[in-house]
Amino acid sequence: MLGNYFLLTLTFILPVACALLCYLVNNIKICSLIGRITSFVLLVSIVIIIQQLANSRGKIAIIVMNPPFNINRIIGLVSILLPTYFIYVGIKIKKIPVCVLAVLQILAMILFEVFSDIKNPVITVTASYMSASIMFLFATVLTFVVFLIARYMDLLEKKLGIKGRAQAAFISLIFIFSGVLNSMVTSDNILWLYPFWGVTTLCTYLLVLHVSGKMDDVNAVQLLYLNLIGSTLFIIAIILVYKTYGVLALGDISKSMPYGRLLGLLPPSMALISFAGFIRVVFLKLNENK
Protein backbone atom coordinates (compact mmCIF):
# COMPACT_ATOMS: atom_id res chain seq x y z
CA MET A 1 0.00 0.00 0.00
CA LEU A 2 2.76 2.42 1.00
CA GLY A 3 4.69 1.57 -2.14
CA ASN A 4 1.67 2.31 -4.35
CA TYR A 5 1.10 5.61 -2.54
CA PHE A 6 4.74 6.59 -3.09
CA LEU A 7 4.66 5.69 -6.79
CA LEU A 8 1.40 7.54 -7.51
CA THR A 9 2.60 10.59 -5.60
CA LEU A 10 5.90 10.46 -7.44
CA THR A 11 4.17 10.81 -10.83
CA PHE A 12 3.11 14.32 -9.82
CA ILE A 13 5.79 15.50 -7.40
CA LEU A 14 8.81 14.36 -9.45
CA PRO A 15 7.99 16.33 -12.64
CA VAL A 16 7.08 19.46 -10.64
CA ALA A 17 10.26 19.18 -8.53
CA CYS A 18 12.28 18.73 -11.72
CA ALA A 19 10.60 21.82 -13.22
CA LEU A 20 11.49 23.96 -10.19
CA LEU A 21 15.06 22.64 -10.11
CA CYS A 22 15.61 23.30 -13.82
CA TYR A 23 14.27 26.83 -13.48
CA LEU A 24 16.57 27.55 -10.52
CA VAL A 25 19.65 25.98 -12.10
CA ASN A 26 19.22 28.00 -15.31
CA ASN A 27 21.77 25.98 -17.28
CA ILE A 28 20.51 24.16 -20.36
CA LYS A 29 23.09 21.34 -20.17
CA ILE A 30 22.43 20.62 -16.50
CA CYS A 31 18.68 20.98 -17.08
CA SER A 32 18.76 18.47 -19.91
CA LEU A 33 20.65 16.01 -17.69
CA ILE A 34 18.16 16.49 -14.83
CA GLY A 35 15.33 16.12 -17.32
CA ARG A 36 16.67 12.88 -18.76
CA ILE A 37 17.11 11.32 -15.32
CA THR A 38 13.66 12.48 -14.21
CA SER A 39 11.90 11.24 -17.34
CA PHE A 40 13.60 7.84 -17.04
CA VAL A 41 12.65 7.47 -13.34
CA LEU A 42 9.10 8.58 -14.15
CA LEU A 43 8.81 6.03 -16.94
CA VAL A 44 10.08 3.22 -14.70
CA SER A 45 7.68 4.24 -11.91
CA ILE A 46 4.69 4.07 -14.25
CA VAL A 47 5.77 0.65 -15.54
CA ILE A 48 5.87 -0.58 -11.92
CA ILE A 49 2.39 0.89 -11.34
CA ILE A 50 1.10 -1.07 -14.34
CA GLN A 51 2.65 -4.24 -12.90
CA GLN A 52 1.09 -3.52 -9.50
CA LEU A 53 -2.34 -3.16 -11.11
CA ALA A 54 -2.20 -6.83 -12.08
CA ASN A 55 -2.00 -7.68 -8.37
CA SER A 56 -4.77 -5.24 -7.42
CA ARG A 57 -7.53 -6.43 -9.77
CA GLY A 58 -6.89 -3.59 -12.19
CA LYS A 59 -7.40 -0.72 -9.74
CA ILE A 60 -5.33 1.04 -7.10
CA ALA A 61 -7.04 3.53 -4.76
CA ILE A 62 -5.07 5.43 -2.14
CA ILE A 63 -6.94 7.48 0.48
CA VAL A 64 -5.00 10.46 1.84
CA MET A 65 -5.99 11.03 5.46
CA ASN A 66 -4.97 14.15 7.42
CA PRO A 67 -2.65 15.78 4.86
CA PRO A 68 -0.10 18.23 6.35
CA PHE A 69 -1.84 21.18 4.66
CA ASN A 70 -5.28 22.02 3.29
CA ILE A 71 -5.03 20.78 -0.29
CA ASN A 72 -8.61 21.74 -1.12
CA ARG A 73 -7.94 25.34 -0.11
CA ILE A 74 -4.87 25.46 -2.35
CA ILE A 75 -6.89 24.01 -5.23
CA GLY A 76 -9.58 26.65 -4.62
CA LEU A 77 -6.99 29.44 -4.65
CA VAL A 78 -5.51 28.18 -7.92
CA SER A 79 -9.03 28.01 -9.38
CA ILE A 80 -9.35 31.77 -8.82
CA LEU A 81 -5.79 32.80 -9.74
CA LEU A 82 -5.78 31.04 -13.12
CA PRO A 83 -8.76 32.89 -14.66
CA THR A 84 -7.40 36.11 -13.09
CA TYR A 85 -4.22 35.64 -15.11
CA PHE A 86 -6.27 34.94 -18.23
CA ILE A 87 -8.06 38.26 -17.67
CA TYR A 88 -4.63 39.92 -17.70
CA VAL A 89 -3.76 38.06 -20.92
CA GLY A 90 -7.06 39.13 -22.50
CA ILE A 91 -6.36 42.77 -21.65
CA LYS A 92 -2.80 42.59 -23.01
CA ILE A 93 -3.82 41.03 -26.33
CA LYS A 94 -7.02 43.10 -26.50
CA LYS A 95 -9.35 40.10 -26.77
CA ILE A 96 -12.56 40.88 -24.89
CA PRO A 97 -14.00 37.32 -25.16
CA VAL A 98 -10.99 35.98 -23.22
CA CYS A 99 -11.68 38.45 -20.40
CA VAL A 100 -15.42 37.71 -20.41
CA LEU A 101 -14.95 33.94 -20.21
CA ALA A 102 -12.39 34.27 -17.42
CA VAL A 103 -14.67 36.63 -15.45
CA LEU A 104 -17.56 34.19 -15.84
CA GLN A 105 -15.41 31.42 -14.38
CA ILE A 106 -14.42 33.54 -11.37
CA LEU A 107 -18.03 34.54 -10.72
CA ALA A 108 -19.19 30.93 -11.04
CA MET A 109 -16.53 29.72 -8.58
CA ILE A 110 -17.28 32.50 -6.06
CA LEU A 111 -21.04 31.94 -6.21
CA PHE A 112 -20.51 28.19 -5.89
CA GLU A 113 -18.34 28.68 -2.80
CA VAL A 114 -20.68 31.24 -1.18
CA PHE A 115 -24.08 29.67 -1.84
CA SER A 116 -23.20 25.98 -1.66
CA ASP A 117 -22.27 24.00 1.40
CA ILE A 118 -19.46 22.24 -0.41
CA LYS A 119 -18.53 18.91 1.12
CA ASN A 120 -15.25 17.89 -0.45
CA PRO A 121 -14.75 14.13 -0.62
CA VAL A 122 -11.87 12.40 1.11
CA ILE A 123 -8.77 12.94 -1.00
CA THR A 124 -8.35 9.82 -3.09
CA VAL A 125 -5.76 9.00 -5.72
CA THR A 126 -6.78 6.23 -8.09
CA ALA A 127 -5.09 4.36 -10.90
CA SER A 128 -6.51 1.95 -13.45
CA TYR A 129 -5.13 0.34 -16.57
CA MET A 130 -6.58 3.22 -18.60
CA SER A 131 -5.06 6.00 -16.50
CA ALA A 132 -1.73 4.16 -16.20
CA SER A 133 -1.63 3.63 -19.97
CA ILE A 134 -2.22 7.33 -20.55
CA MET A 135 0.49 8.24 -18.03
CA PHE A 136 2.82 5.83 -19.82
CA LEU A 137 2.04 7.57 -23.12
CA PHE A 138 2.78 10.98 -21.58
CA ALA A 139 6.01 9.75 -19.99
CA THR A 140 7.19 8.17 -23.26
CA VAL A 141 6.62 11.39 -25.21
CA LEU A 142 8.21 13.41 -22.40
CA THR A 143 11.29 11.18 -22.46
CA PHE A 144 11.53 11.54 -26.24
CA VAL A 145 11.20 15.35 -26.07
CA VAL A 146 13.79 15.70 -23.30
CA PHE A 147 16.31 13.50 -25.11
CA LEU A 148 15.61 15.41 -28.33
CA ILE A 149 16.28 18.73 -26.59
CA ALA A 150 19.49 17.32 -25.10
CA ARG A 151 20.62 16.14 -28.54
CA TYR A 152 19.71 19.33 -30.40
CA MET A 153 20.18 22.06 -27.80
CA ASP A 154 21.25 24.54 -30.48
CA LEU A 155 17.77 24.21 -32.05
CA LEU A 156 16.25 26.11 -29.14
CA GLU A 157 18.60 29.04 -29.64
CA LYS A 158 19.31 29.17 -33.38
CA LYS A 159 15.95 28.22 -34.91
CA LEU A 160 13.46 29.14 -32.20
CA GLY A 161 15.30 32.06 -30.66
CA ILE A 162 14.92 30.69 -27.13
CA LYS A 163 17.94 31.93 -25.20
CA GLY A 164 19.26 32.20 -21.66
CA ARG A 165 16.81 31.68 -18.83
CA ALA A 166 14.00 31.04 -21.31
CA GLN A 167 15.61 27.69 -22.18
CA ALA A 168 15.32 26.46 -18.59
CA ALA A 169 11.78 27.84 -18.37
CA PHE A 170 10.90 25.98 -21.59
CA ILE A 171 11.93 22.63 -20.09
CA SER A 172 10.26 23.50 -16.76
CA LEU A 173 6.92 24.15 -18.45
CA ILE A 174 7.05 20.78 -20.20
CA PHE A 175 7.57 18.98 -16.88
CA ILE A 176 4.85 20.96 -15.07
CA PHE A 177 2.50 20.04 -17.92
CA SER A 178 3.41 16.36 -17.48
CA GLY A 179 2.95 16.38 -13.70
CA VAL A 180 -0.45 18.05 -13.87
CA LEU A 181 -1.65 15.65 -16.59
CA ASN A 182 -0.69 12.71 -14.36
CA SER A 183 -2.68 14.26 -11.51
CA MET A 184 -5.63 14.80 -13.82
CA VAL A 185 -5.97 11.12 -14.69
CA THR A 186 -5.57 9.93 -11.08
CA SER A 187 -7.81 12.47 -9.29
CA ASP A 188 -11.18 11.32 -7.93
CA ASN A 189 -12.47 14.85 -7.20
CA ILE A 190 -14.29 16.28 -10.21
CA LEU A 191 -13.76 19.83 -8.88
CA TRP A 192 -9.98 19.37 -9.06
CA LEU A 193 -10.15 18.73 -12.80
CA TYR A 194 -11.00 22.39 -13.42
CA PRO A 195 -7.70 23.92 -12.15
CA PHE A 196 -5.72 21.02 -13.63
CA TRP A 197 -7.27 21.81 -17.02
CA GLY A 198 -6.43 25.49 -16.48
CA VAL A 199 -2.79 24.77 -15.67
CA THR A 200 -2.34 22.67 -18.82
CA THR A 201 -3.90 25.50 -20.84
CA LEU A 202 -1.55 28.02 -19.26
CA CYS A 203 1.52 25.81 -19.82
CA THR A 204 0.68 25.30 -23.49
CA TYR A 205 0.05 29.01 -23.97
CA LEU A 206 3.37 29.93 -22.32
CA LEU A 207 5.23 27.34 -24.41
CA VAL A 208 3.86 28.89 -27.59
CA LEU A 209 4.75 32.32 -26.21
CA HIS A 210 8.34 31.13 -25.68
CA VAL A 211 8.53 29.96 -29.30
CA SER A 212 6.70 32.80 -31.06
CA GLY A 213 7.45 35.65 -28.66
CA LYS A 214 3.95 37.02 -29.29
CA MET A 215 1.16 37.04 -26.73
CA ASP A 216 -1.40 37.42 -29.52
CA ASP A 217 -0.11 34.50 -31.60
CA VAL A 218 -3.02 33.09 -33.63
CA ASN A 219 -2.54 29.48 -32.50
CA ALA A 220 -2.19 30.51 -28.86
CA VAL A 221 -5.33 32.67 -28.97
CA GLN A 222 -7.33 29.86 -30.59
CA LEU A 223 -6.13 27.55 -27.83
CA LEU A 224 -7.25 30.05 -25.18
CA TYR A 225 -10.70 30.43 -26.73
CA LEU A 226 -11.34 26.69 -26.97
CA ASN A 227 -10.05 25.88 -23.49
CA LEU A 228 -11.77 28.80 -21.78
CA ILE A 229 -15.09 27.91 -23.40
CA GLY A 230 -14.61 24.29 -22.35
CA SER A 231 -13.64 25.14 -18.77
CA THR A 232 -16.54 27.60 -18.41
CA LEU A 233 -19.04 24.94 -19.48
CA PHE A 234 -17.27 22.43 -17.24
CA ILE A 235 -17.66 24.65 -14.16
CA ILE A 236 -21.37 25.06 -14.89
CA ALA A 237 -21.70 21.27 -15.25
CA ILE A 238 -19.93 20.71 -11.91
CA ILE A 239 -22.32 23.11 -10.16
CA LEU A 240 -25.37 21.42 -11.69
CA VAL A 241 -24.12 17.95 -10.74
CA TYR A 242 -23.40 19.02 -7.16
CA LYS A 243 -26.73 20.81 -6.77
CA THR A 244 -28.54 17.72 -8.05
CA TYR A 245 -26.62 14.89 -6.38
CA GLY A 246 -24.55 16.61 -3.67
CA VAL A 247 -21.32 14.75 -4.47
CA LEU A 248 -18.00 15.64 -6.11
CA ALA A 249 -16.20 12.28 -6.06
CA LEU A 250 -16.22 10.59 -9.45
CA GLY A 251 -16.76 7.22 -7.78
CA ASP A 252 -19.93 8.47 -6.03
CA ILE A 253 -21.18 10.28 -9.13
CA SER A 254 -20.87 7.11 -11.20
CA LYS A 255 -23.19 5.37 -8.72
CA SER A 256 -25.69 8.24 -8.37
CA MET A 257 -26.21 9.46 -11.92
CA PRO A 258 -27.82 7.63 -14.82
CA TYR A 259 -24.96 6.69 -17.14
CA GLY A 260 -22.67 8.00 -14.41
CA ARG A 261 -20.06 5.39 -15.25
CA LEU A 262 -19.33 7.37 -18.41
CA LEU A 263 -17.96 10.14 -16.18
CA GLY A 264 -15.14 7.80 -15.28
CA LEU A 265 -13.84 8.53 -18.78
CA LEU A 266 -13.81 12.28 -18.06
CA PRO A 267 -10.31 12.64 -16.51
CA PRO A 268 -8.47 10.62 -19.19
CA SER A 269 -10.52 12.31 -21.93
CA MET A 270 -9.67 15.80 -20.63
CA ALA A 271 -6.02 14.81 -20.28
CA LEU A 272 -5.87 13.49 -23.84
CA ILE A 273 -7.53 16.65 -25.18
CA SER A 274 -4.99 18.81 -23.32
CA PHE A 275 -2.16 16.64 -24.59
CA ALA A 276 -3.44 16.79 -28.17
CA GLY A 277 -3.74 20.58 -27.95
CA PHE A 278 -0.20 20.80 -26.62
CA ILE A 279 1.20 18.63 -29.42
CA ARG A 280 -0.77 20.44 -32.13
CA VAL A 281 0.07 23.99 -31.12
CA VAL A 282 3.74 23.47 -30.24
CA PHE A 283 4.55 21.39 -33.30
CA LEU A 284 2.77 23.88 -35.55
CA LYS A 285 5.07 26.56 -34.19
CA LEU A 286 8.11 24.32 -34.68
CA ASN A 287 7.16 23.81 -38.32
CA GLU A 288 6.65 27.53 -38.82
CA ASN A 289 10.16 28.20 -37.54
CA LYS A 290 11.93 25.69 -39.77
pLDDT at 88: 94
pLDDT at 264 over 90: no
pLDDT at 212: 64
- Are the CB atoms for 145 and 81 separated by under 8 Å? no
Q: In b/e form, how buried is each residue of 262-282, taking b as 16+ CB within 10 angstroms?
A: ebbebbbebbbebbebbeebb
- Alpha-helical (H) ranges within the chain are 2-25, 28-54, 71-93, 96-115, 129-151, 153-158, 165-186, 193-212, 218-245, 250-256, 266-288
Task: Give per-residue pLDDT as tens, 169-220.
Answer: 778 888 998 899 888 888 888 889 899 988 988 888 887 777 666 777 787 7
- Looking at 12-26, 127-141, 190-204, 249-263, which range is the least confident one? 249-263
Please name which of 219, 176, 170 lies closest in space to residue 195, comparing C-alpha atoms. Answer: 176
Q: Is the pLDDT of residue 85 over 90?
A: yes
pLDDT score of 289 more than 70: no
Q: pLDDT band for 146, please (50, 70, 90 cuts).
A: confident
Taking the C-alpha atoms of residue 230 and residue 270, their distance in angstroms, rounded to an integer, is 10
Going by the DSSP 8-state scheme, the letter that residue 128 receives in this structure is E
CA separation for the pair 286, 43 (Å, rounded): 25
Output the pLDDT for position 283.
62
Q: What is the pLDDT of residue 30?
A: 84
pLDDT confidence tier of residue 245, bands split at 50, 70 and 90: confident
The confidence band for 139, taking pLDDT boundaries of 50, 70 and 90, is confident
pLDDT at 266: 66
62 pLDDT higher than 70: yes
Give the span between the Cα atoms of 132 and 192, in whole angstroms: 19
- Rounded distance between C-alpha atoms, residue 45 and residue 43, angstroms: 5
Judging by beta carbons within 10 Å of its beta carbon (0-12, 13-18, 19+), is residue 287 exposed, middle or buried?
Answer: exposed
pLDDT grade for 257, boundaries at 50, 70 and 90:
low
pLDDT at 132 over 70: yes
Average pLDDT over the chain reads: 81
Task: List the end-to-end C-alpha distance of the chain, in Å, as a whole number.
Answer: 49
Mean pLDDT, rounded, for 131-147? 85
- Percentage of the chain beyond pLDDT 70 is 81
